[in-house]
Structure 1
């Protein structure tokens, strides 16, 4: 039996398909409150015990030249590049404000630019932002750190890729979604294959450590045959890792999605067939299924980290850097400092008002309870390492896992009957068939789900 056959069980995927969190954090952002006291964030930043922890920096660049109809990101669509100037100036002032809260001798071992479209910035603006970052923080050398950026191939020439490498970036994430021209027209993202291949070749020529690509299944006019062609082309291009996301059609939340014809979306049955083809093609090509919608070559650090039980999750998804304090810069960005999550104002005017007033732009957040910390650890272990070793939790938290979580383990018995997990003496393991439903398994340990609207989350399949 092939890996794909053990991973993909249409009957179980249909049975368990539901709305649920992606668990880039626990508690999820729905638990963030505007009543949050930013002083909790400042106390965590100043905690002397945090000095042994590396820093991770996230910069949100919200601007896009054109809007992709499927997108649910916090973005500003504009062709006016002058909008970047005041935003960049505020990012620099925000860095000074944040740096004053931390011991900046702490090394930065992870940095990420996301958006929006970070390559909306000019080459000079990119250099200016990175120079300011190095002025305020201690960035580790290239081989000791993970410096990544999301790149739109429509916005990045080979010169741009070389420029980013000179600035210190060593990992790229490329947005592609689908190579089919009919699909591209329907989602307002015209991106000929040559654009993507040019960027990938430039990245290889300049020795990036990892090249990742984002695809989406479930888009208008996609068929199994058309998406198979996209997959086969991508396999020939051989990125180090692939994220193949399920399109979440939520026009009530994201107005631009109303520009697409809902009648052109694949049916639930067709979506499952698309997902099956993704799993078949990528695993047959030698990619390791990491979990959820992520695949990586065995040589990629994500696959190696999972094999070594050191894989982690943060607000950018799977990561090899565990336990960093994360500082978020820019509108809507989220930070994690100790047991505190804090999110900046989402809207540009609110963000600008805060920075112009000389204060942090934190608009909401949450301080974790002891129960939150325990459940966060459980969910992280499930999502990343696909197992729970009860004795590790007993030792770390002074509990008897089997007793404390007896109700959750009982609820998981039906998952065990379906072959998704195995529950033994002292451990729980996610079976191969359960990897595609690991969000559902993690949801059993989420004590907030009964208190919130699941419709705010995407489907698990």
Structure 2
């Protein structure tokens, strides 16, 4: 499989508009409060009847300090005692949800995100993992993909050894940028020594995959300063990079109001940084997975993409399309059967649900036949840069050219611009179109027109 990218500045400028990241289709904006506890239980029952493995996501919302760029659902506090009542409730939810899923279903994937999961003490993390093992069928032989997000400022050699002993075998390190001026501007002071010590400790303890998170478009960044950060990290050769575009949306995220907008790099500088990142990472042997993600050619994400097994869910790219995703904790989102489900976003509502023994469902959406069809189309494009019409026709018993006549007509301009090639058998995304894969997927999104202003720009 050709996993190369081509940086065409003119195309990127013309196609740089707002759009979804497609961690789901329909996107989370379609979830509504008419979907609650009863609807979720019905979909769990249907999911159990179908069988198959599970993926668990546990949300730990706490952070010691606030990073001004952050758009995550988090609770900033230096008081570690605040985690205790939340942990009690999370364990209650694990027991409640675990009792509803067929115990024979193996948990092939597990992910702790946040916030900062390592905000918890070792004793708290052990309790959380023990509770999960008690109520869900986790692997005991290290064959599951069990991952955790860590803040190197909250982590040391001892913590890494403890996480490995708990069963984690994949790790993602938050960094964003090493430049001291950028770090000060976004209130995240983090040294190279802290970061690389954690990376090296993870390798020593046998973590099978290491990922570094970076963000481009932060205040005071330039192509030269970000290149220096990237070169320092490349010397340690992590297995994966996640290089995200900073979306400045202060009207939605209050902490972003503390960023000095005058210090944000111009769109032209952001494009220079992006081009540099793509060039340096591909020169270093990494392949472009899609949507900000790069990986070594022997990484399981790169292999899954070549083998046609890559998937995309609320945590990003995944190697397991066969797993139902169970969201646990405040604000978490899951996908069970043909429904998406989100928990309450506020701690008091979550606490009240747990106190009364209710599933903490805030809202959800049940997909109809058209949603499921369009999700399959978008997933093929965003994961594999390829769309085989015959495969979709056989799976959904449609005539692709008839069902998607309007969409195929709208793709012609992208074909003429060199983003895709297209014939009667399918669509192939060309190297020049891979950085703009969101735009191509957007052609098949029936909900987009009324919601577009609520998404970040694609580049």
Q: Is the TM-score greater than 0.5?
A: yes
Residue by residue over 1:324-371, the C-alpha shift from the partner in whole angstroms, topping out at 9 and shown as x without a partner, is 111111110011110011100001111111111111100101000000
- 1:241 aligns to 2:240 (yes or no): yes
Is the CA contact (8 Å cut-off) linking 2:48 and 2:102 kept in structure 1? no
User: Hey, what does 2:254 align to over in structure 1?
Assistant: 255
Residue by residue over 1:363-411, the C-alpha shift from the partner in whole angstroms, topping out at 9 and shown as x without a partner, is 1010000000000011011110111111111111000112211110110
Paired with 2:457 and 2:47, the residues of 1 have a C-alpha distance of 41
Shift of residue 50, structure 1, vs aligned partner: 4.1
User: Hey, what does 1:272 align to over in structure 2?
Assistant: 271
User: Hey, what does 2:98 align to over in structure 1?
Assistant: 99
- 1:60 aligns to 2:59 (yes or no): yes
User: Hey, what does 1:363 align to over in structure 2?
Assistant: 362
Instruction: Summarize the alignment of residues 149-164 of structure 1 with structure 2, pairs less than 5 Å apart.
Output: 149-164=148-163
User: Hey, what does 1:435 align to over in structure 2?
Assistant: 434
Paired with 1:394 and 1:38, the residues of 2 have a C-alpha distance of 35
Paired with 1:457 and 1:335, the residues of 2 have a C-alpha distance of 20
Shift of residue 48, structure 1, vs aligned partner: 6.4
Residue by residue over 1:22-60, the C-alpha shift from the partner in whole angstroms, topping out at 9 and shown as x without a partner, is 000000010000111432221121126645310111100
Residue by residue over 1:57-114, the C-alpha shift from the partner in whole angstroms, topping out at 9 and shown as x without a partner, is 1100000000000000000000000011111110111011111211122100000000
User: Hey, what does 1:81 align to over in structure 2?
Assistant: 80
Instruction: Summarize the alignment of residues 207-356 of structure 1 with structure 2, pairs less than 5 Å apart.
Output: 207-356=206-355
Paired with 2:39 and 2:175, the residues of 1 have a C-alpha distance of 40
TM-score calculated relative to the size of structure 2? 0.98
TM-score calculated relative to the size of structure 1? 0.98
* 3-state SS in 1 of match to 2:101: coil
User: Hey, what does 1:132 align to over in structure 2?
Assistant: 131
- 1:16 aligns to 2:15 (yes or no): yes
Is the CA contact (8 Å cut-off) linking 1:17 and 1:459 kept in structure 2? yes
Shift of residue 258, structure 1, vs aligned partner: 1.1
User: Hey, what does 2:455 align to over in structure 1?
Assistant: 457
Paired with 1:37 and 1:211, the residues of 2 have a C-alpha distance of 37
Paired with 1:382 and 1:234, the residues of 2 have a C-alpha distance of 30
Is the CA contact (8 Å cut-off) linking 1:142 and 1:170 kept in structure 2? no
User: Hey, what does 1:196 align to over in structure 2?
Assistant: 195
* 3-state SS in 2 of match to 1:412: helix
Shift of residue 142, structure 1, vs aligned partner: 4.2
User: Hey, what does 1:419 align to over in structure 2?
Assistant: 418
Q: CA RMSD of the aligned region, Å?
A: 1.3
User: Hey, what does 2:378 align to over in structure 1?
Assistant: 379
User: Hey, what does 2:109 align to over in structure 1?
Assistant: 110
* 3-state SS in 2 of match to 1:33: coil
Paired with 1:202 and 1:55, the residues of 2 have a C-alpha distance of 29
* 3-state SS in 2 of match to 1:328: strand
Matched pairs, number: 458
Paired with 2:154 and 2:347, the residues of 1 have a C-alpha distance of 22
Shift of residue 456, structure 1, vs aligned partner: 1.4
User: Hey, what does 1:390 align to over in structure 2?
Assistant: 389
* 3-state SS in 2 of match to 1:399: coil
Paired with 2:45 and 2:224, the residues of 1 have a C-alpha distance of 55
Paired with 2:340 and 2:49, the residues of 1 have a C-alpha distance of 15
Shift of residue 143, structure 1, vs aligned partner: 4.0
User: Hey, what does 2:404 align to over in structure 1?
Assistant: 405
* 3-state SS in 2 of match to 1:295: strand
Is the CA contact (8 Å cut-off) linking 2:23 and 2:316 kept in structure 1? yes
Paired with 2:449 and 2:264, the residues of 1 have a C-alpha distance of 30
Paired with 2:111 and 2:268, the residues of 1 have a C-alpha distance of 36
* 3-state SS in 1 of match to 2:432: helix
| Structure 1 residues 298 and 50, CA gap change in structure 2 (3 angstroms) | farther
Paired with 2:158 and 2:454, the residues of 1 have a C-alpha distance of 40
- Mind listing any 5+ residue stretches in structure 1 that lack a counterpart? none
Is the CA contact (8 Å cut-off) linking 1:142 and 1:168 kept in structure 2? no
Paired with 1:325 and 1:87, the residues of 2 have a C-alpha distance of 25
* 3-state SS in 2 of match to 1:26: coil
